[in-house]
Structure 1
């Protein structure tokens, strides 16, 4: 719950303070958690002896007030005030932003100067227009009616000459004004570029918290300020992997581990010490509450009670694995980029200073790389695919935990074949990673015969039989160790009888502890065709319906 005013100490009871001193703080350290970020700021200020109010400037509104912690060195902290309403606007900016604003104002002034020059040139055109108007009125003057022909001729010649001169003057002035204004196009383009450059720099929110600390300094001197708080939301870090499979006689998997970092806190981070932590700063602190489970039986002819179905549904999820927090691995010891600290979870400190603009930058930080020996096989699922897929099997021998990630680009001998997620890997754990289709290993699965009564799948016929032929053809120029998986139905009811036969017999039944999944393992040579005949038969009592 956010609030507008909080007094850590009873400030109102204290005597009036000598003066108010503004203090500009700067972000120096950030520890990013999966759900939040811990931000540390520091500042130093010279104060005279006595009581003062230090007003911290620059703290964005994204800071969580209840998590604010302030430590002072050089003075005694009497009380703290902070609020997020009725706060003064942000009055500080970086030198880069100030320079961009100054450039913008300079271009605006140059544009106005060009417009003034154009208007100045047009004054000659306006004056010539006035002269033409006067000459026209002069030619229409009634007082010329009594003039002699010679006088009229001279007046006409004079008006004609002056009118020509005024017209040329007006035309020349307008042409000159247009030439002056051609400079506006270039200036407007420069103005747009400057405005875009300022927008790219000035990404911080104007909203700031008001934070003030009442202090009592025994003597004049320097006061060191350490300010820390949490930001909930608006920050994110995730691992990212490049998985490069090198094929050949000794296949190898090279794993490049990086991290994506972004933030939208309303404040740019400039040259900060960055830490990445696997702990959740606002995660659960107590174990979950476990409800009791009541089981009972019901008459099948009666409607199922909602309470029973809810209990069964809850129980069906009881065995689901809990999500785990995984630790990011450390950098190579020879050229360390990160240092690792163990505690509740794992925290890694980046050795270089980092800058991340608010709401704009997505920073990719290089962590390290590992290599693992792998076994490459072809994996085929004819029921779903028309080609086999290349799979790399490996065991994590690094002794380190590998974080799960939604970003894991897959390469084969340096060529990108896809981008998928990575589930993570514990030390000593084995996994299988896919690296795209093998177009030369073609798969077909044909139903040769299907017999199931004459009323369709929802009929009361009590028998179903199916004959399937699976064919694998190797059109590549190499021998592939291969695994083919397919399925047969299974039942947990005595009255539902299922039988099956396969030629050749599968190498493994209930593959990976999945009932009804069959697996065949073999090598297939170049140009070779392998076939599997799979027959299934299902029988059930009359009057029952197969689902």
Structure 2
């Protein structure tokens, strides 16, 4: 087996003369989809006479990248390989049985509808002829020059003919109405058949043609062609079902796949990998940072600092002492650790540009810790939270999750990457009747948000949770205190009651209080913060 990088040169310039050209189909058989992009493998197997040939494979998408194309062959020696615009020779490849059957059904329904309309029109023609006969007879009866005896005879004769003609018209119109019944159903059937045919046909476009030179022996030739496309993606998708009374959390895992590669993938073996070949493959490169000093002007401020093209110019003027807000950890979507690949057990079809395919993966039962969680500085109500551990054998990949609370839709959120045995926390919406308040009494050195001019300040706050429901809840209250990296700024704090956890998840200044709140109970947490800094400096309150 030999691998060849595709060449876009004209085949005739890079290979000897061949005995013949043989066109063959190489449908897509296997697809590996990445979070962004996909590896597409098509294959062909055919028996050819021993000797040199050109295998012509039409129908590759127009966006096929020659740099990613790889060709392998069993049962033959590969020669020159060329990817050409348009077709290398006229195509006589037959239609697939599905397309042929769909076209035959469209033709049958079109013919049936035409024949129905022709029958109705023929009946209506009889009705119109009868009406024309009536008009003719009436015109004759009104003509001049008839004798009195002729008029009497004509009246009897015309009257009978008019009656006969009108009866014929009525009967024809009735027959035409009956024949026309069901036409709407026939039209809908034809529209559905045309839609099915359109769905089976490959995307429009001339595409590209692969020409492969081989020297065959006595064995059948098995050809494999692999290429990459950027126009495909997949992501995990989850449904989380929380039952409070049973204290269970069911996690359904699925996969959402879409592609716009320029061709349909029909009945392919599907694999999904969390590898990211389209992303950065090596660490970033650092360049030198050159620091320069200069004498600042009298009104130079920290806001004048700038970084330009890798050089940092830092003014050496004294900086005001400021309280540092608690750092916030923002987890991005990462695919760290070992590559995970999912192999779907059944062949699938994903059409170009029209299918957003969801495939079910598996279902897992998790044991949650259910509680009410309140953040008084941000929210006015507590939220229902379920915390559990990823007990699966593999990590949970980042993806959207639809949340259900006691069988009812609670909202949507996102699961970040969660390794095995790591913590997983999901919120299932607000708890009606769990009121949350954040109260700030007047400060010792001024109202909230005012710059303090002395070198001390005391701030106080009350975190209040009122349970207006008729049941007890495990409760977690989350608060924060300011922190600093500056030795000259001293920050002390106290709370009643004491927090259960400090510096939650490594975040400085984040506090947690765990308790149980009974029906109609009000819980207050009193928080006091003391700040001290050097004389002559100022501090901007940000808590």
Secondary structure, aligned partner of 1:359:
coil
Q: What is the Cα deviation at residue 132 of structure 1?
A: 4.3
Is 2:334–2:417's contact at 8 Å kept on the other side of the alignment? no
Is 1:9–1:78's contact at 8 Å kept on the other side of the alignment? no
Q: Deviations along 1:157-207, whole A, 9 cap, x unmatched?
A: 433433443344344434433433334233223223333333444464444
Judge which range, 40-49 or 293-302, deviates more. 293-302
Is 1:90–1:206's contact at 8 Å kept on the other side of the alignment? no
Matches of 1:404 and 1:81 in 2, distance apart? 40
Give the equivalent residue in structure 2 for 1:292.
288
Q: What is the Cα deviation at residue 41 of structure 1?
A: 1.6
Write out aligned runs for 1:87-126 (5 A). 93-126=95-128
Q: Structure 1 residues 364, 129: CA separation in 2 closer, same or farther (over 3 Å shift)?
A: closer
Give the equivalent residue in structure 2 for 1:277.
273
Is 1:31–1:275's contact at 8 Å kept on the other side of the alignment? yes
Return the match for 2:354 from 328, 351, 360: 360
The answer on 1:230 being equivalent to 2:228 is yes
Q: What is the Cα deviation at residue 498 of structure 1?
A: 6.1
Q: What is the Cα deviation at residue 109 of structure 1?
A: 1.0
Provide structure 2 residue ranges, at least 5 long, that are not aligned to the other structure.
1-5, 314-326
Give the equivalent residue in structure 2 for 1:335.
none
Q: Structure 1 residues 8, 161: CA separation in 2 closer, same or farther (over 3 Å shift)?
A: closer
Judge which range, 125-134 or 110-119, deviates more. 125-134
Is 1:375–1:394's contact at 8 Å kept on the other side of the alignment? yes
Give the equivalent residue in structure 1 for 2:497.
504
Write out aligned runs for 1:105-184 (5 A). 105-132=107-134, 134-135=136-137, 138-139=140-141, 144=145, 148-184=147-183
Matches of 1:532 and 1:7 in 2, distance apart? 76
Q: Structure 1 residues 305, 165: CA separation in 2 closer, same or farther (over 3 Å shift)?
A: same
The answer on 1:265 being equivalent to 2:288 is no
Q: What is the Cα deviation at residue 489 of structure 1?
A: 4.2
Q: What is the Cα deviation at residue 210 of structure 1?
A: 1.4
Matches of 2:464 and 2:92 in 1, distance apart? 71
Give the equivalent residue in structure 1 for 2:80.
79
The answer on 1:214 being equivalent to 2:224 is no
Secondary structure, aligned partner of 1:273:
strand
Between the two proteins, the alignment pairs up a number of residues equal to 515
For normalisation by structure 1, the TM-score amounts to 0.78
Q: What is the Cα deviation at residue 19 of structure 1?
A: 3.2
The answer on 1:307 being equivalent to 2:292 is no
Q: Structure 1 residues 296, 470: CA separation in 2 closer, same or farther (over 3 Å shift)?
A: same
Q: What is the Cα deviation at residue 388 of structure 1?
A: 2.8
Give the equivalent residue in structure 1 for 2:396.
402
Is 2:250–2:366's contact at 8 Å kept on the other side of the alignment? yes
Matches of 1:52 and 1:58 in 2, distance apart? 19
Q: What is the Cα deviation at residue 284 of structure 1?
A: 3.1
Matches of 1:148 and 1:399 in 2, distance apart? 111
Is 1:482–1:524's contact at 8 Å kept on the other side of the alignment? yes
Matches of 1:69 and 1:8 in 2, distance apart? 17
Is 2:402–2:412's contact at 8 Å kept on the other side of the alignment? yes
Secondary structure, aligned partner of 1:83:
strand
Q: Structure 1 residues 513, 311: CA separation in 2 closer, same or farther (over 3 Å shift)?
A: farther
Q: Deviations along 1:501-527, whole A, 9 cap, x unmatched?
A: 533344455444444434333344455
Matches of 1:309 and 1:19 in 2, distance apart? 61
Q: Deviations along 1:365-416, whole A, 9 cap, x unmatched?
A: 33344455554444321122233334444444556333222x2234456555
Q: Structure 1 residues 58, 184: CA separation in 2 closer, same or farther (over 3 Å shift)?
A: same
Provide structure 1 residue ranges, at least 5 long, that are not aligned to the other structure.
328-341
Is 1:34–1:237's contact at 8 Å kept on the other side of the alignment? yes
Secondary structure, aligned partner of 2:462:
strand
